[in-house]
Amino acid sequence: MGISHYPPDVDALRGSFIPGGLGAGQALVALAGNPNTGKSTVFNALTGLHQHTGNWPGKTVTQSRGTYSHRNRTIAIVDLPGTYSLLSNSPEELIARDFLCFAAPDATVVVVDASCLERNLNLVFQVMEITPRVVVCVNLVDEAMRKGISVDLDGLSYELGVPVVATVARTGKGLERLKDILDDLISGRIKLSPRYVVYDDDIEDRLAGLQANLHDVPLGHLNPRWVALRLLDGDAALIEGIVRRLGLYGSAAETGSRTNMQPDNLDGLQETMERAGEVRGREGRWGQGENSFRDRIVSAIYNRAESITRKVVRAGNAKGRDLGSLVDDILTSRIFGYPAMLALFGALLWITISGANVPSELLARVLFALQDRLMDMAARLQIPGWLQGVAILGTYRSVAWVVSVMLPPMAIFFPLFTLLEDLGYLPRVAFNLDSLFRKAGAHGKQALTMSMGFGCNAAGVIACRIIESPRERLIAILTNNFVPCNGRFPTLITLASLLASGEFALDHGSFLASGIVVGMVVLGIAVTLATSWALAKTILRGVPSFFALELPPYRRPQVIKTIVRSVMDRTLFVLLRAVTVAAPAGAVTWALANTSVGGISILKGLASLLDFPGRAMGLDGFILAAFILGLPANEIVMPIMLMGYLSSGTMLELGGLDSLGGILAHNDWTWLTALNMMLFSLLHYPCGTTLMTIHKETSSLKWTFLSAAIPTCIGVSLCLVVTGGARLLGLV
Amino acid sequence: MQRKTPGSSKCNGRIVALADLPIGRRGEVVSLALEGFSRLRLLDLGLVPGTEVKAVRRSPANDPVAFNIRGAMIALRNDDGRRIMVQYQEQEQEMT
């Protein structure tokens, strides 16, 4: 990019987005856009595997950045948070705006949805006001075409005064051209003539006056018109940022390091700020409602967007109703809405359970056969017995268990769930469930964060960031643990299969097993709602905040890519985490089970200590001990429990479910034990990772403690009641 | 400032709350009785006075309701929808 003309702070910020800093022949590109425009598909298609995700410095918003090379230039591309606007001062919008203005990207791609151009142009104009170096990427043109909508790209480019490219990011169509145009723009081969929104005369007069005042202020790369606009809006945070980042004030005078400062210029900005304050003050903060500054600004932008859309968008004859709308008629209907949700989820579980059965058994057989080999080998090498025990019977066996039990269901469940997600079904779930959450005093987006919890509760807790109101966000965080995560699904699925397989004298079939798991999930959702309601009525009282939910059109998922991505990102990630926790936990548990104090192993001692409360809850001491030792991760509760059983008596071979059922029956399990273990698995304290995440997200020990105490109390009470009831009725 | 003219004539327009706009009907936003963050959010979505909005579907429990706002499907809770006034034609012909 030649010699930099940016202040040191801006240079440092720009350099932080590419490893080793931004060198010659490299450029920084920002990717902006509304949510649901396929922005991340564009990002993935441009960067491929060369990407990195993390958090924005000091913020709880995810940042994705990546690189690609084109025409001998390396482009560092930063995916800004998806926003509708840059004016509402939500954390996402502030991040996007600050990046555009203080990292001074060499070009900004604004991704827009071809079917929804009018609304998307709002953001385009707002970005253009900050930086004119914009390329508009009209994405999803195939989808628009199916709806009979076509966009006149040349017309749009003329109206905006910036380049426009049509793309279908999922197939890669148009992306080469986007890269070409970006390169032309960065190297100065494209002359931009941005046509900004013209506001009403009153605002324009004031803008002109302020801009004249700003004439002598060294605003660097910033557009004086935009700065004047922000001054008129009284945006103190931005002005402070300008002063700090561009080195206009304060620190420079003290350190004397930035010598090119001219006091006159600083006075200019100060003067302009004061004048802007006067202009605003004279009218008492710009009037109310429709006459407020914001209303007038946004109305002007949308009027312009409307007139452009009328010129460049051709909507063909609407050929009846589209398929998505018909599907929505069923999936969100009064009669079928809820049953369809249950049926879909039940089908998901049924496919998972019946599909995972065979590979699970096979994996177990292979892995446990390998265990025997390892034992033989260890014996031949004369490795000491305690080491054999810790390494093979402890570490290896619990890892083998976790892999054989968790891998197959997760390899089926996650891709299917991701497909539903990519299809656009989750917003419909939120739409259907919102009235329940509203009555519970919770935020509508809690239905979405709850759905995330099915994957991983820690991820669900992080997802609660999308809820702006702190009160409703806390409710969502505290109740996220009530939906079973994939660490608990295997436990639920295994126990439900045992219940359904007739091991404990119940009916047959994986159909019933999925029914039982669905029942558990419904119970979890019911407890979520009840607890949210109780919290909203007591310690987290308040009124529900504003809620707008976009229902994007259904989109055909990229099946192969989705499966690969979910296996890589979710299945393997979660499995790896489970294994890294299971390995040491297995070793520790084996040590506890085989270290005797006073003639009785520590594990057995713990179990006998817990036996009384365990029995009262319809469990036993070993199960409770396993839940306690399994705090690091729910995945290892079953293995620890089994290790306890196995160490306590005869050594049984652990193969598929039949022998598992054998072990459990041998330890006096009944259907009631299985039911209670499922209930307690659903309703107990979150795992260590989730607790740490909750602490990080709430920065409060009190809320972290409550997030563990509430579900545990509910779980213990429910188990006591169920067990007491069953015994009273003589069912066991 | 240019105001959008709706598809049919403006006379006989009845003013109702957006939450009461019958499904399948279009209305033109007259006023927003919300302030602060909620108002800014609605503006972001393009719900400025003069905007044409169509009520598309109700959720199973009648609340929230999904509206077509400038080509996007946006669901709003009735508590919020009651504070947005729209003008609609009672004898509106079926429009495509």
Residue ranges per structural domain of chain A: 8-186, 201-282, 337-541+558-728
Task: For residue A526, give both structure tokens.
Answer: 């019911």
Q: What angle do CA A304, A307, A312 make, to 5 degrees?
A: 120
Residue window 393-432, chain A: list those with CB within 8 Å of chain B.
Answer: 431-432
Note whether A87 and B40 are within 8 A (CB): yes
Query: Is the pLDDT reported for residue A104 higher than 80?
Result: yes
Out of A41-50, A51-60, A147-156, which region has the weakest mean confidence (pLDDT)?
A: A51-60
Closest CB to B45 among A84, A435, A551: A84
Q: What pLDDT digit, counting tens, does each position of A443-486 carry?
A: 888 988 898 888 778 888 988 988 888 899 999 999 999 999 87
- Alpha carbons A443 and A318: distance in angstroms, whole number: 35
In the block, which residue shows the tokens 């017995």?
Answer: A385
> Which residue in A85, A89, A200 is closest to B1 by CB distance?
A200
Q: Which of A154, A204, A151, A197 is nearest to A305 (CA)?
A: A197
Q: Which of A152-161, A412-421, B18-27, B80-89 has the lowest mean pLDDT?
A: A412-421
Question: Taking CA A50 as the corner, what is the angle to CA A49 and CA A53, rounded to the nearest 5 degrees?
Answer: 95
Of B49, B50, B75, the CB nearest to A551: B75
Q: Which of A655, A649, A634 is nearest to A711 (CA)?
A: A634
From A517, A518, A498, A495, select the one nearest A508 (Cα to Cα): A498
Average per-residue pLDDT for chain A: 84
Greater pLDDT, A406 or A609: A609
Every domain of chain B and the residues it spans:
13-89
According to the model, what pLDDT value does residue A255 have?
39
Residue A590, amino acid = W
pLDDT, tens only, A343-391: 988 888 888 878 887 888 898 889 988 988 998 999 899 888 888 888 8
Considering only CB atoms, B45 lies closest to which of A89, A288, A548, namely A548
Measured between CA atoms, how close is A554 to chain B, in angstroms?
12
Give the confidence band of A2 by pLDDT, cuts at 50, 70, 90: very low
Comparing A255-259, A516-520, A580-584, A677-681, the range with the smallest average pLDDT is A255-259
**DSSP 8-class letter at A239:** H
SS3 A696: helix
Q: Which is more confidently placed, A367 or A8?
A: A367
Residues whose CB is less than 8 angstroms from the CB of residue A335 and which lie 6 or more positions away in sequence, other chains included: none
- Residue A292 CA to chain centroid, in angstroms? 35
* pLDDT, position A651: 41
Task: Give the confidence band of A503 by pLDDT, cuts at 50, 70, 90.
Answer: low
Are A470 and A697 in contact by the 8 Å Cβ rule? The answer is no
Q: For domain A8-186, say whether CATH 3.40.50.460 is its number.
A: no
Q: Is A201 on the interface with B (CB under 8 A)?
A: no
CATH number of the domain at B13-89, please?
2.30.30.90
Which chain B residues are closer than 8 Å to A425 by Cβ? none
The beta strand positions in A509-568, using DSSP E, are: 548-550
Tens of pLDDT, residues A579-618: 888 888 888 888 888 888 888 888 888 899 999 999 999 9
Cβ–Cβ below 8 Å for B71 and A200: no
Answer yes or no: are the C-beta atoms of A27 and A73 closer than 8 Å: yes
Chain A CB contacts of B2 under 8 Å are 303, 307
Residues of chain A with Cβ-Cβ distance to B24 below 8 Å are none
Q: What is the pLDDT of residue A236?
A: 76
Classify A220 in phi/psi space as left (phi over 0), alpha (psi -120 to 50) or beta: left
Interface test with B, best of A307, A308, A549 (most B CBs within 10 A): A549
The pLDDT value given to residue A652:
45
CA distance A343 to A327: 15
Contact A88 B41 (CB under 8 A): yes
Quote the CA–CA distance of B16 and A417 in Å, as a whole number.
Answer: 41
pLDDT tens digits for range A635-668: 889 888 888 887 754 444 455 445 677 788 888 8
Q: Is B95 on the interface with A (CB under 8 A)?
A: no
Containing H/E element for B67? strand B65-69
Instruction: Give me the residues paired with residue A376 across strands.
Output: none
> Which segments in chain B show pLDDT lower than 70?
1-12, 89-96
Nearest residue, CB atoms, B71 vs list A87, A116, A299: A116
Q: Which residues from chain B sit within 8 angstroms of residue A119, using beta carbons?
A: 45-46, 69-72
pLDDT band for position A254 (50/70/90)?
A: very low
